[in-house]
Amino acid sequence: MSVNFKTLQIAAAAAALLAGCSMIPAYDRPGAPVPDSWPTPATTAGTAAADLEWQSFFGDERLKQLIATALTNNRDLRVAVLNIEQARAQYNIRDADRFPTVALAVTGSRTPNSSGGITSLYSAGLAVTAWEIDLFGRVASLSQAALAQYLATEEGRKATKISLIASVANGYLSLVADEEMLALTQQTLVTREESLRLTKLRFDNGVSSELDFSQALSLAEGARVALAQFSRQRAQDQNALALLLGSPLPPGFRAAATTESLSLPQLPAATPSEVLVRRPDIRQAEQLLISANANIGAARAAFFPRISLTGGIGSASGELSGLFKGGSWGWTVVPQLVQPIFDAGRNEAGLRSANTGRDIAVAQYEKAIQSAFREVADALAGNATLGDQVLAQSNVALAEARRFSLSDLRYKNGVASYLDLLDAQRSLFAAQLLLVQTRLAQLQNQVLLYKALGGGWKQ
pLDDT (tens digit per residue) in 357-398: 999 999 999 999 999 999 999 999 999 999 999 999 999 999
What is the per-residue pLDDT for 200? 86
201 within a domain of the structure (yes/no): yes
Q: Structural domain tally of the chain?
A: 1
Question: What is the residue-averaged pLDDT of the chain?
Answer: 86
Q: Which long-range contacts (CB under 8 A, 24 or more apart) does 111-119 make?
A: 119/318
20-65: per-residue pLDDT in tens?
Answer: 567 899 999 999 899 989 999 888 888 889 889 999 999 999 999 9
Please give the average per-residue pLDDT across 279-296, as a whole number. 94
7 within a domain of the structure (yes/no): no
At 315 the three-state DSSP class reads strand
* Bridge partners, residue 109, by sequence: 121
Q: Whole-model pTM?
A: 0.84
The most distant pair of C-alpha atoms in the chain lies apart, rounded to whole Å, by: 134
pLDDT surpasses 50 at 5: no
106 within a domain of the structure (yes/no): no
pLDDT surpasses 50 at 105: yes
Q: Which domain holds residue 239?
A: 22-98+135-304+348-452
What is the per-residue pLDDT for 328? 66
What is the per-residue pLDDT for 11? 44
The pLDDT > 70 percentage for the chain reads 92
**Rounded CA Rg of the chain:** 37
The whole-angstrom separation of Cα 387 and Cα 302 is: 61
Please give the average per-residue pLDDT across 230-234, as a whole number. 95
Please give the average per-residue pLDDT across 270-284, as a whole number. 90
27 DSSP assignment: P
What is the per-residue pLDDT for 317? 66
444 within a domain of the structure (yes/no): yes
9 within a domain of the structure (yes/no): no
Please give the average per-residue pLDDT across 302-324, as a whole number. 74
116 within a domain of the structure (yes/no): no
The whole-angstrom separation of Cα 150 and Cα 94 is: 11
The whole-angstrom separation of Cα 180 and Cα 387 is: 20
CATH number of domain containing 287: 1.20.1600.10
Please give the average per-residue pLDDT across 289-304, as a whole number. 90
55 burial level (CB within 10 Å; 0-12, 13-18, 19+): exposed
pLDDT surpasses 90 at 194: no
Q: Note whether 312 and 125 are within 8 A (CB).
A: yes
What is the per-residue pLDDT for 318? 65
